Amino acid sequence: MKNTPIPYDIVKQKIAESGLPKVGRATIREIVRLVNEIEAATGLKYIRMEMGVPGMEPNSVGIEAEIQALRSGVASKYPMIDGVPALKKEISRFVKNFINIEVDEKNCIPTVGSMQGGMASFLLTNRCFKEKDTVLFIDPGFPVQKQQLKVLGMKYETFDVYNYRGDKLKAKLESYLNKGNISTILYSNPNNPSWICFSENELQIIGDLSNKYDVVIIEDLAYFAMDFRKDLSKPGQAPYQQSVANYTKNWIMLISSSKAFSYAGQRIGCMVVSNELYKRRFPDLKRFFSSDEFGYAMLYGAVYSLSSGTCHSAQYGLAAMLKAANDGTFDFVESLKEYGAKAKIMKQLFVDNGFQIVYNMDEDKPLADGFYFTISYPGFSGEDLIDELVYYGISAISLVITGSEKTEGLRACVSQVQRSQFGDLEARLKQFHTDNPIK
């Protein structure tokens, strides 16, 4: 029996009880459950890096606005399908202030999280042309978006962008686009799980190809303004959150409130459709919707059918936070910088103990420190590494489930790890390194 930071026999027993054939192959939620049980049985605290949840409290302006809306009686009244005017206005201002893109208030639609925003988007973008029935993911990415397509009975293709950064991206994308079946390209930026951020050159390539092949770009901005190498916090002032919207008119943005505003619990996000795409007509949409106008079909077809709109009070909560950010009275980026600060320290601790950062460059620039980073250890597959680290009180997920080809890699999320745990993290990594000397 090995002498590990978390008692070996208890971990072994809990793994056996879980019924998991291999911890390294478990889903995020299965790992969460297993670690919960080991923590309860041992009284010891893990360095928990498996789940991408916000690690801070939201600004009180959102909570207070929700409470005021509830007291004013919104709970009994159906919200308008397209969102309350106050929120639509602030989303439009937010897109202008922080991305420097103009979009009509009409085209700013609250959704039940970006999860619903993605679902609604697929229902439209993948059906605008009969022959274009496939979504292309620039991976690695969020596994549930692929699950959404499977649930809808829709097709997708995917590639790992690791070997296709910079100018190489163009030929790689065209190898898919020139087949004629791709309707949509989706990526997240900053990227979950690798934390790569596309360069302006890469975004221009994507935008140009969107125009050339008439393909909709869904830009998943779940980690809005979290490329901390630049100061993206000033409304109406450069630099701005990067976006493909500077290079094409054919886009949908999904702006989540979960991480940028720590509002994951209320399930509210923003789907923003470009002015041009919103009013464009696609006769093939009539197969599934009463209207062939993209925006009308999106609202009264997809969004209405999915849930009749978004929680009324939550709309007022988000509107208040966006307004404060737009007015410059609330610097929503400031508190998020703690994620980057923790990542910098944690990455160093891993590197000092023999680990490597898997995705480590944006073309010629070192990767930003942010919500996630990726790690590997010589001689271990990603699955085996998770299997082993669990005895050392460290939990993460395998990159394989994110569409990455880096089978040796793990995704580590910083949000749930407290600075007070850094001592534990260092000691555990040291022991791991000692127990597993690199040959």
Return residues touching a second copy (CB under 8 A): 29, 53-54, 56-58, 62-63, 66-67, 70-71, 73-79, 112-113, 115-116, 119, 123, 144, 147-148, 150-153, 258, 262-268, 287-290, 300-302, 304-314, 317
CA–CA dist 289, 298 (Å, integer): 9
Can you name the residues that pair with 159 across neighbouring β-strands?
138
CA–CA dist 92, 88 (Å, integer): 6
Give the pairing of strands 47-48 and 394-395. Answer: parallel
Nearest CA-CA partner of 412 in 208, 129, 195: 195
Q: Closer to a second copy by CB, 254 or 425: give it.
A: 254
Q: Closer to a second copy by CB, 260 or 385: give it.
A: 260
Residue 329's contacts (CB-CB under 8 Å, 6 or more residues apart) are none
Instruction: Name the token pair of 189.
Output: 């930026």
Quote the least distance from Cβ 113 to a second copy, whole Å. 5
**Taking the mean position of all CA atoms in its chain, how far away is CA 105?**
24
Q: Closer to a second copy by CB, 59 or 97: give it.
A: 59
Contacts 24+ apart (CB under 8 A), 167-170: 167/201, 167/205, 169/202, 169/205, 169/206, 170/205, 170/209
Quote the least distance from Cβ 372 to a second copy, whole Å. 16
Q: Closer to a second copy by CB, 186 or 205: give it.
A: 186
Quote the least distance from Cβ 52 to a second copy, whole Å. 9
Quote the least distance from Cβ 330 to a second copy, whole Å. 15
Nearest CA-CA partner of 405 in 362, 438, 359, 363: 359
Q: Closer to a second copy by CB, 147 or 329: give it.
A: 147
Quote the least distance from Cβ 72 to a second copy, whole Å. 10
Residue type, 39: E
Quote the least distance from Cβ 413 to a second copy, whole Å. 13
Contact 325, 267 (CB under 8 A): no
Residue 153's contacts (CB-CB under 8 Å, 6 or more residues apart) are none
Q: Closer to a second copy by CB, 314 or 325: give it.
A: 314
Residue found under tokens 């849930």? 307
Quote the least distance from Cβ 96 to a second copy, whole Å. 26
CA–CA dist 396, 390 (Å, integer): 9
Q: Closer to a second copy by CB, 290 or 407: give it.
A: 290
Buried b (16+ CB within 10 A) or exposed e, 226-235: bbbeeebbee
CA–CA dist 299, 316 (Å, integer): 20
Quote the least distance from Cβ 130 to a second copy, whole Å. 13
CA atoms within 13 A on the CB side of 297: 26
Q: Closer to a second copy by CB, 273 or 311: give it.
A: 311
Q: Closer to a second copy by CB, 152 or 361: give it.
A: 152
Quote the least distance from Cβ 3 to a second copy, whole Å. 36
